[in-house]
Amino acid sequence: MGIRSTASRPKVYIKTFGCQMNEYDSLRILRLLESCGYERALSYEEATVILLNTCSVRRKAEDKVYSELGRIKKLKNRQSNFILGVGGCVAQQEGHNLVKRFPYIDIVFGTHCLSRLPVLIEKAFCGDKAVDVSMPAHSDIYPSDSYMPHSSQISAFISIMHGCDNYCSYCVVPFVRGREYSRDPDDILREVTNLVDAGIKEITLLGQNVNSYGRTVSPSLTFAALLRQLNVITGLERIRFTTSHPKDLSDQLIDCFAELDKLCGHIHLPLQSGSDRILDLMNRGYTSKEYRHKIHLLRQAVPDISITSDILVGFPGETNDDFRETLALIESIGYDDLFMFHYTDRPGTKASQYTAKVPYAVKIKRLSMIKEKQRNISLQKNMQLIGKTCSVLFEGHSKRGRGCIAGRTAGNKVVNCKGQPERIGTTAVVKIEKARIHSLSGKLI
Ligand code: SAH
Ligand code: SF4
Ligand code: F3S
């Protein structure tokens, strides 16, 4: 396609907010624009096109986008010759409102128009504002040609599906990402093979609920079956995935953990709440007893499997007793790590209509109690690894000082140790000597 005629190639700077799926989308956007003649800019100042890929999952995430827009406005006042595009989940949610509220935005692109972005940019260069938030239901949002990772990358994300049909009552994702759609397994296999050929050792398969992968694929294929196909790719060392919805975690998937040598022994299984009453109001589709049973099955299959989760405190109507049930369940399960959030209303969700809102101070108090509890559990869990050996895939230099490299165990724990930079990109065995809340350190053996 044609691009604005400038002496040098136009440069694009993409700032990404939100989850791994947005990181993956940003990389796809970058690769697509590179194929249209763009170069990557290293700062706002040198960019011809600035794109924000945004997140709307919590109010704070959305507010971050608005403060970034404030910063960019100042830059526009000083240097008006760049195009500003806002995409992703806030763009999908707000559509035309964004240009009304921030008239210096040139393009608003929703979550389903990655492939149309070059045309929207062209339009903006011609002086037309471009807003595209259409969401065709049953199509792949990604261009079908493959993309290359960064040259120094060891690990890569790959979206295997998009959208979500679960409608948890607090969650904006089904509204901003549309209906659940599973990508074609052949496209996925091709993409992973290309990534491995380019030097990638570890892939993380992404979806809002990977356990329901395959429902829109014909002939239908389960997530467990997809994993088995990926496990035989030569040169691929590690497979991870996120996120798993507890209600759809199948016995076949649990078997994969026990049987597939490349599948890492780590599962992120968001619990959200330990109270059955709140789980029901959240529309999560499982009880605390059913959740505990899944954990039991996972640990039966792989006794040292690492388990992490998301907890949402202060859902409307959550009482002290409900919260105590969450605390008790966290204690009894003993997670390796937790992501903890306090509830905020999201536009269009059922829970935003619930009137029994928990006061802010109470939500924050509960959040800090849960964080304190998890700090102790994470440290205890990590201390149990002292003296043990772990296989670590090294991914880069460590922040812990010169001569140190860092990587992750199959259980997704960060390990720092002394080692030559040549080890980066390779897997080695480390004897764990020290444990902290969020990392381990040890010696190469
Ligand atoms: N698909 C994933 C979750 C994606 S959103 C899953 O089902 O697990 C990531 C996390 O953000 C959720 O697990 C939840 O804990 C949190 N979250 C979602 N909506 C929220 C809201 N309205 N307020 C606060 N946290 C929220
Ligand atoms: Fe949101 Fe629930 Fe879908 Fe996860 S499964 S993205 S929490 S609606
Ligand atoms: Fe945020 Fe959208 Fe991901 S709302 S968490 S960027 S799917």
439-444 and 427-435 beta bridge pairing: antiparallel
Determine the pLDDT at residue 69.
97
Whole-number Å distance, alpha carbon 57 to ligand 1 midpoint, is 7
Domain limits, the chain: 11-139, 150-264, 296-384, 389-444
- Give the residues of the chain that fall short of pLDDT 70: 1-7, 146
Whole-number Å distance, alpha carbon 224 to ligand 1 midpoint, is 24
For residue 55 and ligand 3, the question of a CB distance below 6 A is answered with yes
- Report the nearest atom of ligand 1 relative to the CA of 272: 15
For residue 338 and ligand 1, the question of a CB distance below 6 A is answered with no
**296-384 CATH fold:** Transcription Regulator spoIIAA (3.30.750)
Query: What is the 8-class DSSP label of residue 441?
Result: E
Q: 113 CB contacts (<8 Å, ≥6 apart)?
A: 120, 132, 133, 134, 141
Q: Whose CA is nearest to atom 2 of ligand 2?
A: 168
Instruction: Render pLDDT for 15-30 as a digit per residue (tens, 0 to 9).
Output: 999 999 999 999 999 9
Q: What top-level class would CATH report for the domain 150-264?
A: alpha beta
Whole-number Å distance, alpha carbon 166 to ligand 2 midpoint, is 6
Residue where the block lists tokens 């939100």: 18
Q: What is the rounded CA–CA span in Å between residue 48 and residue 71?
A: 17
For residue 171 and ligand 3, the question of a CB distance below 6 A is answered with no
Q: What top-level class would CATH report for the domain 389-444?
A: mainly beta
- The ligand placed nearest to the CA atom of residue 87 is 3
Determine the pLDDT at residue 149.
77
Whole-number Å distance, alpha carbon 85 to ligand 3 midpoint, is 17
Determine the pLDDT at residue 402.
82
Task: Judge whether 150-264 and 296-384 match in fold.
Answer: yes
User: Tokens at residue 114, please?
Assistant: 């990655």
Q: What is the rounded CA–CA span in Å between residue 92 and residue 288?
A: 34
User: Tokens at residue 261, please?
Assistant: 């040598």
Determine the pLDDT at residue 5.
46
Q: What is the rounded CA–CA span in Å between residue 159 and residue 162?
A: 7
For residue 65 and ligand 3, the question of a CB distance below 6 A is answered with no
Query: Is-above-0.85 flag for pTM?
Result: yes
Determine the pLDDT at residue 7.
55
Determine the pLDDT at residue 78.
86
Whole-number Å distance, alpha carbon 141 to ligand 1 midpoint, is 22
Determine the pLDDT at residue 401.
78
Residue where the block lists tokens 């953990």: 257
CATH 3.40.50.12160 is the classification of domain 11-139: yes
For residue 243 and ligand 1, the question of a CB distance below 6 A is answered with yes
Instruction: Render pLDDT for 347-358 as a digit per residue (tens, 0 to 9).
Output: 999 999 999 999
For residue 245 and ligand 2, the question of a CB distance below 6 A is answered with yes
Q: What is the rounded CA–CA span in Å between residue 244 and residue 298?
A: 13
For residue 243, the one-letter residue type is T
Strands, E, within 269-421: which ranges?
306-313, 337-342, 389-397, 404-409, 414-418
Q: Could you tell me the strand order of the sheet in which 337-342 lies? A: 266-268, 306-313, 337-342
Determine the pLDDT at residue 14.
98
Q: What is the rounded CA–CA span in Å between residue 254 and residue 307?
A: 13
For residue 54 and ligand 1, the question of a CB distance below 6 A is answered with no
User: Tokens at residue 71, please?
Assistant: 């910063």
- The ligand placed nearest to the CA atom of residue 311 is 1
